[in-house]
Amino acid sequence: MTKGGSRIGSGRKPKPFSEKKESLLISLDPQVARWLRQQPRYSRLVNNLLTMEMSRSIVRETTKHESQDSEQVRIAILSNSGGAGKSTLCHNIAYNLNRLGKSTLLLDLDPQHNLDLFCGLTSTKKGGTMLDVFAENFQGNYPIVQIEDRQTSVIRGCNELQRVQQELVLRRRREQVLADLFVDYPLKYDVILMDCPATLGLVIDNAIASATHLLIPLVPEGKAVQGLNGLFDTIEKISRDLRLNPRPTVLGIVPVGYEKDTASHRQALAAFKSRCDYIGVELFEPITDSKEVKNANEAGKPIGIYRPGHKSSLEFERLTKLLFDKIYGKT
């Protein structure tokens, strides 16, 4: 008998836990859970452990809302097809947000890591990348690179990000790794822009789960119109399954690479408008196809620096101002 009359190893059945605590126990590492079940004071040990875990979850949620209250904006720029201009959009919006007084950080989640070229980061000595951020032993030492001649920073992508999809499968809270990092290791920027991969999967799930806003660039083609339903289904499923509260706001759809003299582009744009009107999502004015934008990307500059006053520069400027007003309630 132990002091207080509790018999060690008596086989007394522990009192059942609440449904929430049972769920937390199941989510623990299997070896830890097995060890706890074998302990004589199983009920007290597990109760203490789960009470601490529940408290940590409450703190996490509180901090999450505090972060939102401090108006940090996290925009996931995503599409379900390659060549949709995500990196170009991300890069140029960041530049124009700087001009509006907002500090910006780019997260390159795409294995193609086009932002390296677009931001003028051509050094072969890369240093850290988003692969390090997704590592299970990451402790908040973000490998941030300051881009020369502007008020924008970036965490670079790499080819090896392809394997993150498989590695995340084994992680606890696998769809919320990035969201948890933003809470545990806050980044002090006004706006974080996430350049997402073209393939749907756990990396995009993480971007959606951690975002306050979503922006969807699409090339005005028939397959993009058809794929739009699948993309919105994915956003809805992630938001519902993870019980995101608040859910990320869809800022709208941006047609990119638009050619007004191409009949198929005009038809696709009309289909975009019809679909956006039906689901209540804003369709922004198109970003027209421009050789100067491609030249600016290759030069490692936003079009606003490469060719200030150019038509494409003004298009990105107008788009960013509309986004700014929509996010910060200026409209």
Cβ neighbors of 61 (< 8 A, separation 6 or more) are: none
Give me the mean pLDDT over the 251-262 stretch: 90
Please answer whether residues 150 and 98 qualify as being in contact, where contact means their C-beta atoms are separated by less than 8 angstroms: yes
Q: What is the per-residue DSSP string for 198-239?
A: SS-SHHHHHHHHH-SEEEEEE-SSHHHHHHHHHHHHHHHHHH
What pLDDT does residue 7 have? 39
**Topology, domain 71-327:** Rossmann fold (3.40.50)
Residue ranges of the chain assigned to CATH 3.40.50.300:
71-327
Tell which residue, 327, 90, 108, has the closest CA to residue 216: 90
pLDDT tens digits along 91-129: 999 999 999 999 999 999 999 898 988 998 876 556 799
SS3 assignment, position 193? strand
Burial 31-69 (b: 16+ CB within 10 A, else e): eeeeebeeeeeebeebbebbeebeeeeeeeeeebeebee
The pLDDT, as a whole number, for residue 165 is 84
Beta bridge partners of 193: 75, 106
14 pLDDT exceeds 80?
no
115 in Cβ contact with 90 (< 8 Å): yes
Q: State residue 1's pLDDT score.
A: 45
Q: Is the pLDDT of residue 260 over 80?
A: yes
For 128, the 3-state DSSP assignment is: coil
User: Exposed (0-12), middle (13-18) or buried (19+): which is 141, by Cβ within 10 Å?
Assistant: exposed
Name the burial class of residue 275, with classes exposed (0-12), middle (13-18) and buried (19+) by CB atoms within 10 angstroms of its CB. Answer: middle
Provide CB contacts within 8 A for 33, sequence distance 6+: 25, 26
Q: What are phi and psi of 237, to 5 degrees?
A: -65, -45
Edge to edge, the sheet with strand 287-288 lists: 145-146, 152-155, 104-108, 191-195, 73-77, 213-218, 249-258, 287-288
Query: What's the pLDDT at 179?
Result: 95
More confident residue, 232 or 6: 232
Tokens representing 42 are 């199983």
85 touches 201 (CB < 8 A): no
The tens digit of pLDDT for each residue in 139-196 reads 999 999 998 777 899 999 998 898 888 889 888 899 999 999 999 999 999 999 999 9
Q: What is the pLDDT of residue 56?
A: 46
Q: 234: how many CB neighbours lie within 10 A of its CB? A: 17
Can you give the pLDDT at residue 279?
Answer: 83
What pTM, to 2 d.p., does this model score? 0.77
